[in-house]
């Protein structure tokens, strides 16, 4: 049973400047809900009860978001706004959320290493705090199911266009079934020629606690940082790793184009916006084509 999750959320968000100058990218709203709340919801929907968020400088608003806000709650009660009041109460009671600060930004691997005392000897899930995956079965649940079947570290992967392999951790291996691959290689942000495939690590993992020993042996890699992918390559030799092809759509919110697309797609899924916003989009697109035509 996987009951703990780690959400790394200490990164600077340079790809989203200037809005991330004084505000965490994980708090960017998709309509009215910060990205990290979707990620926490995925944990909860996957049966996780205990979450450690790796935060850092300038990230305090994440803590405030999951804390109780008495003043706001009593104001909503006075106004008898049941809907908003219930939403606020939900956020503060979603899970047991803990925080630890990564004082120096030494990479994703180093961020995960900060979770060693929290996770102890238990396997745990990792969800990148700037990535939302929209799916029927939460992707973390998909990984937990695979972990229960194979009793090995499981990482979520998806296929990406060959020209994009250098943006991701890329894996190579042999297919065990339609959606499961036994890995024989992981490489962080390879060149197109070096890439063993076009299957990219998709920001969700279920790791065994042996990852912490592997991280201790991991030298600095890409970008002079301790890369989780490099530690996984060490773990692969010791324990084996499988990859699970995700069933769902991944949105990397740290990237402006993905953020825009996510906002539009999520708005169209919301009852209160679907019609009006859909109509607005149709008119905008029509105008665009009329101008071009």
Give the interface segment with ligand G1P, choosing from 26-34, 137-145, 198-206, 264-272 (CB under 6 A): 198-206
> Which of 28, 76, 201, 211 is the binder for ligand G1P (CB under 6 A)?
201
230 binds ligand G1P (CB under 6 A): no
**Position 199 contacts ligand G1P (CB under 6 A):** no
259 contributes a contact to ligand G1P by CB under 6 A: no
- Phi, psi values for residue 179, rounded to 5°: -115, 0
Phi and psi angles of residue 23, each rounded to the nearest 5 degrees, phi first: -145, 135
Residue 233 Cβ, how far from ligand G1P at the closest point, in Å? 11
Tell me the chain's radius of gyration from C-alpha atoms.
20
Among 53, 108, 154, 226, binds ligand G1P (CB under 6 A): 108
Give the count of residues interacting with ligand G1P (CB under 6 A): 13
Q: Does 236 bind ligand G1P (CB under 6 A)?
A: no
- Measured at the CA of 176, the angle between CA 171 and CA 125, to 5 degrees, comes to 55
Contact, 188 vs 218, CB < 8 A? no
Residue found by looking up tokens 């990406």 in the block: 160
Per-residue CA distances from 65 to 37, 71, 90 (Å): 9, 14, 11
Burial readout 102-114 (b: 16 or more C-beta within 10 A, e: otherwise): beeebbbbbbbbb
- Among residues 100, 72, 102, 106, the alpha carbon closest in space to that of 87 is found at 72
Check binding of 128 to ligand G1P (CB under 6 A): yes
**119 vs 171, beta carbon nearer ligand G1P:** 171
Work out how close the CB of 44 gets to ligand G1P at its nearest, in angstroms, rounded to a whole number: 22
Distance (Å, whole) CA 270 – CA 179: 30
- Angle at Cα 54 formed by Cα 51 and Cα 55, nearest 5°? 125
Interface positions, 162-191, toward ligand G1P (CB under 6 A): 168-169, 188
Q: Which residue is nearest to ligand G1P (CB)?
A: 169
- Contact between 218 and ligand G1P per CB under 6 A: no
Residue 48 binds ligand G1P (CB under 6 A)? no
Q: Considering the complex, what minimum distance in angstroms separates the CB of residue 174 from ligand G1P? A: 20
Interaction of residue 203 with ligand G1P, rule CB under 6 A: yes
> Which positions touch ligand G1P (CB under 6 A)?
108, 128, 131, 168-169, 188, 200-201, 203, 227-229, 252
């Amino acid at each position: 049973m996987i009951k703990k999750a780690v959400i790394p959320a200490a990164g600077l968000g340079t790809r989203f400047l200037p809005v991330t100058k004084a505000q965490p990218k994980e708090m960017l709203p998709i309509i009215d809900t910060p990205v990290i709340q979707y990620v926490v919801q995925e944990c909860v929907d996957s049966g996780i009860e205990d979450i450690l968020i790796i935060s850092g400088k300038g990230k305090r608003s994440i803590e405030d978001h999951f804390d109780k806000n008495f003043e706001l709650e009593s104001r909503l009660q006075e106004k008898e706004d049941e809907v908003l009041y219930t939403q606020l109460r939900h956020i503060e009671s979603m899970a047991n959320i803990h925080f630890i600060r990564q004082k120096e930004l030494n990479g994703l691997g180093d961020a995960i290493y900060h979770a060693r005392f929290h996770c102890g000897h238990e396997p745990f899930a990792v969800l990148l705090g700037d990535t939302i995956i929209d799916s029927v079965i939460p992707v973390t649940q998909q990984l937990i199911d695979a972990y229960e079947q194979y009793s090995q570290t499981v990482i979520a992967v998806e296929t990406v266009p060959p020209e994009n392999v250098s943006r991701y951790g890329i894996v190579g291996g042999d297919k065990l079934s339609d959606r499961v691959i036994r890995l024989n290689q992981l490489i962080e942000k390879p060149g197109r020629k070096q890439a063993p495939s076009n299957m990219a690590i998709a920001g969700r993992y279920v790791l065994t606690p042996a990852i912490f020993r592997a991280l201790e042996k991991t030298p600095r890699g890409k970008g002079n940082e301790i890369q989780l992918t490099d530690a996984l390559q060490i773990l692969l030799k010791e324990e084996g790793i499988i990859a699970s092809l995700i069933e769902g759509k991944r949105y990397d919110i740290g990237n402006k184009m993905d953020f825009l697309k996510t906002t539009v797609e999520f708005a169209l899924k919301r009852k209160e916006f679907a019609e009006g916003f859909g109509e607005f989009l149709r008119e905008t697109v029509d105008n665009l084509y009329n101008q071009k035509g």
